[in-house]
A and B are shown apart, each in its own frame.
Chain A
Amino acid sequence: MTILPTLKSLAVAAAILASTSAIALAKDVHISVWAGGTGPNDVYRLDAIEIAAQQLQREAALKGEDLKITVEKKPYSAWEDFKQALTLAAEAKTAPNIVVSGHEDIAPWSQAGLIVPIEDYVDLDSWPLSDIYENLLQIASYNGTVYGIPQDAESRPMFFWKPYMKAIGYSDADLDALPQSVQDGKYTMKNLLEDAKKMQDKGLVQPGYGFYPRTSNGPDYWQFYTSFGGTMEEGGKLVFDKAAMTRTYQFFADAVKSGVTKKNHIGMPGDQWWKEVATGKAGIWDGGTWHYARLVNQEGLKDFFGNVIFTLIPAGEGGKANTLTHPLVYLLTAGHDQEDTEIAAQLVKIASEPRINALHAVKSAHLGISKSESTVEFYSADRWTREATERLLPHANAMPNNSDFGKYWNIMWKNLEASWTGAKTVDAAVSDAESELKSTLGDKIVIR
């Protein structure tokens, strides 16, 4: 008789326990992702995480867990705004779980404790991470630790408007051979300025439109420094090569002096620049591989391969032909619940699978991150991604992951702009940069 109430209470306790364990199994996770430099062609930076969430939910269901992941996406089109917002949010402990940013942010952000190493959460030896190009994983590392997973790869070629090249005397065969002769160092920066001048002299393009480079600060300008023999970092220390920097500054000053580049080129509206390079108003220009997507999708350049030829950045005096890859990376921010970070890491891992990443690569004209991605037919069938991968990626350098590189970059750019616009002579700009680098970075930079 007395056993009944005990049984009853046991049954109630079991029911309560069962219900709480059911609640414990139903897990509702909110993952936020922010991506910088994200235009209409780059939506898969964020959408890939959403696709990955669906996959992870299914995997969890098979393990008997009721996992529900809500992904909150936030694209930023400009870099300045994005980096300011992210840095301040992270300092205020309100950073998103996942950030898509340039690899060069790994050094300062990890030093400040804003991000955590992704290798603490994922197995780098398992697919698809084991398949990612080793050099890209290196770029996503700092202090020997893998902090991020490359989200894309790219490079920054030199573009030539084919009809004008023909008009100044290049045959079809010459043009086909141009990428190779740039790579071999036969076609140099000097030739580039000469050709730009010829286009202007023939009236093919207006004055100032012969060589029409990027209109704002960006990683592109380090390619020119490399092209003139400069080194950014050596043995963990930043390097300022005065002679190479002088030649770099001089190149742009000369371009302005000979009239092939406008003195007021920097700061011009981006939309105008895009329209002009897409419609053949400019003769030669530099840009990123993703420019293909913008030119074809938004700017109406339908016959890209008929009108444009692309090469490495030609060699300048003392340097070699090169290009720069600037992979964006998925990073995990600090200060979140361990389990959320774990799930965020899993999402990044799934988002890096070749077929998902190929969606981004093809839509945005970026390059693939893993070996097997180039075997995905959807990727390899795309002429742009195929040709750009083959022609450019093997020659790509990257900017160093160094917590002081940003300071160096600011000083380098400020003085390049000053010598370009004639606000300073080239020598004054280089010597100002040198003295500011000395006072700012001391022995953290080698000046030679």
Chain B
Amino acid sequence: MKSSRTLGLVMIAPAAIMIVLFFLMPVVLTAVFSMTSMTTATGISGGVYQIAPNSLIALKSAIPDIAAEMAEPRYTIDEAGLKAVEGLGLAPGIAGELRAKHAGEVFTARRDVERMLKELADRPSTRDVKQISEQFNRSVLNTRFDSKEQLFSALDSLGFKLTPEQKETVAKVTYTGWVWTTDNFSRMTTSPDMARVLLNTVLYVALVLMLFNVGYALLLAIWTHYMPPTPASIFRGIWLLPRITPVVIYVMLWKWLAWDTGFISILMGKFGYPPKNYLLDNAYNAWFFVVLINGFIGASMGMLVFSSAMKAIPKSQFYASEVDGASRWQQIRYIILPQMRWPILFVTCYQTLSLLASFNEILLATNGGPGNATEVWALSAYHTALRNYAGNLEYGLGAAMALVLVVIGVTLSLLYLRVFNYGTLVAKPLIED
């Protein structure tokens, strides 16, 4: 018994590892990222400490005197620097000439000291000039320090007298990486645009789900149910086309239909209407097409599930009802629909989750336009975290938005499990008792 359990654990191990790696980890990482201020500017792998002119702006209000001093770049030709130059293994005349002609000089800009170096008799190469000038750098400006300790020791060695609190302030202001924060969530709750996006998402899921993924799918299943088998199969096959067509081509076809130069415009042109971009003409049009584009894809799955469920209804029930003189409507009303309860619930649940997370068709068709009218939550998270013109990718905020979707998805899944009464589904069959 015990060994079979161990064996079971071993057998399941690959699947368990897969689940942890590909299902659990992304969610955990999304949750972790959502609590950070990560953007393109902060990087992902962590930051450094850099006293740069832009960070000094903030420091000026906290410790003005010291900030002003830090802002001063200084290149001093001192003995320590000259010794260091001697150690570089360059032409010996360089250090000698520097000591003789320039000892004690102070330069405020790197380019000035480098210009002086280029005047030396043994003119060093560009690379050497950079190396030499660095030996005389007596400023912390623009140097990148990997750790706080390095920053503090550099400040100490340059004679900055800072209290521990002031040091911490300097470290905080000059840190270039991301920090832990809950700002993403407060930004989400306060932004009027986010509320709009959420509303769009609810509208999108509800419309596509009710009109197509369930409603139209059921209609198609019923239609084909009453058709002779061959035309029914052909009809179902045609309805599968949007599902199996590559999404880019499928959306391109819709665009050809609805653009200024597209089919509708040409057709309406025959009746004297000027061409216009029907797809992006206004928010209503955009929604109309977004719902159609997604609906035609989604309807096929519901149709297949419903058709097979209808096939499972014993034919005898239909024959009996025909004998009793039932109309088609009565058959639908009293035989089909009551027995379709579970398939309908299943399709509703499954498609809600799919629609919540899907955005590729909208991205290709309207890219969330016009004026963000069709920007749904998942698309907005993608735009925020991974793709925008300005190139400032806000990973943290995007992750926080994605996390909201995860939470909604998990909550809904749990709710559905309860509705489907998962317990009874996996219970031992009574027949074996």
Contacts and interface: CB of A to CB of B under 8 A. Distances in A.
A206 interface: yes
A308 to B, nearest CB: 22
A218 B389 contact: yes
Contacts of A111: 41-43, 50, 176
Contacts of A436: 187, 191-193
A197 to B, nearest CB: 17
A91 B43 contact: yes
Nearest to B144: A113
Interface in A404-448: 404-407, 409-410, 413-414, 417-424, 432, 435-436, 439-440, 443
Interface stretch (B83-91, B280-288, B300-308): B280-288
A274 to B, nearest CB: 12
A88 to B, nearest CB: 8
Interface in B121-180: 126-127, 129-130, 141-142, 144, 176
A225 to B, nearest CB: 15
A125 B133 CA distance: 15
A125 B386 contact: no
Given A143-B53, A217-B389, A423 B373 contact: yes
A108 B40 contact: yes
B48 interface: yes
Contacts of A125: 111, 114-115, 118
B260 A108 contact: no
Nearest to A399: B390
A432 B54 contact: no
B369 interface: yes
Contacts of B192: 432, 435-436
B391 interface: yes
Given A83-B391, A111-B176, A421 B54 contact: no
B372 A418 contact: yes
A79 interface: yes
Given A91-B43, A112-B41, A409 B48 contact: no
B411 interface: no
B130 to A, nearest CB: 6
Interface residues of A, number: 70
Interface in A374-420: 402-407, 409-410, 413-414, 417-420
Given A80-B389, A145-B142, A267-B280, A403 B41 contact: yes
B274 interface: yes
B184 to A, nearest CB: 10
Most buried by B among A80, A84, A109, A264: A264
Interface string B41-80: 1111101101011100110000000000000010000000
Interface string A256-275: 00000011101111001000
A409 to B, nearest CB: 4
A105 B333 CA distance: 63
Nearest to B134: A120
Contacts of B343: none
B143 to A, nearest CB: 11
A264 B388 contact: no
Contact of B191 (A101, A269, A439): A439
B262 to A, nearest CB: 10
A236 interface: yes
Contact of B187 (A83, A143, A440): A440
Contacts of A191: none
Contacts of B255: 269
B370 A417 contact: yes
A262 B43 CA distance: 39
A108 B392 CA distance: 8
A91 B44 CA distance: 7
Contact of A413 (B50, B187, B389): B389
Given A91-B45, A143-B54, A264 B276 contact: yes
A51 B372 CA distance: 45
Contacts of B369: 266-267, 417, 421
Most buried by A among B48, B126, B142, B282: B126
A407 B126 CA distance: 38
B332 to A, nearest CB: 41
Interface string A270-283: 00100000000000
B125 to A, nearest CB: 9
Contact of A112 (B176, B193, B260, B387): B176
A264 B371 CA distance: 9
A5 interface: no
B43 A114 contact: yes
A319 interface: no
Contacts of B259: 268-269, 272
A267 B192 CA distance: 23
B281 A105 contact: no
B71 to A, nearest CB: 10
Most buried by B among A216, A266, A410: A410
A143 B142 contact: yes
Given A414-B372, A417-B371, A421-B370, A216 B389 contact: yes
Contacts of B224: none
B366 interface: yes
A66 interface: no
A207 interface: yes
B186 interface: yes
A87 B388 CA distance: 12
A124 interface: yes
A235 B53 CA distance: 11
Given A403-B41, A406-B40, A421-B370, A121 B392 contact: no
A271 B122 CA distance: 59
Contact of A263 (B127, B281, B386): B281
Contacts of B370: 263-264, 266-267, 417, 421, 423
Contacts of A109: 40
Contacts of B393: 83-84, 87
A107 interface: yes
Given A84-B386, A406-B40, A406-B391, 17 more contacts: A80-B389, A91-B43, A108-B40, A109-B40, A111-B42, A112-B40, A112-B176, A123-B126, A236-B53, A266-B369, A266-B370, A272-B259, A407-B392, A409-B392, A421-B283, A421-B370, A422-B282
10 contacts: A108-B41, A144-B53, A266-B370, A267-B369, A405-B392, A413-B390, A420-B371, A421-B371, A432-B193, A435-B190
Interface of B: 39-45, 47-48, 50, 52-54, 57-58, 73, 111, 114-115, 118, 126-127, 129-130, 141-142, 144, 176, 183, 186-187, 190-193, 255, 259-261, 274, 276-277, 280-283, 366-367, 369-373, 386-394
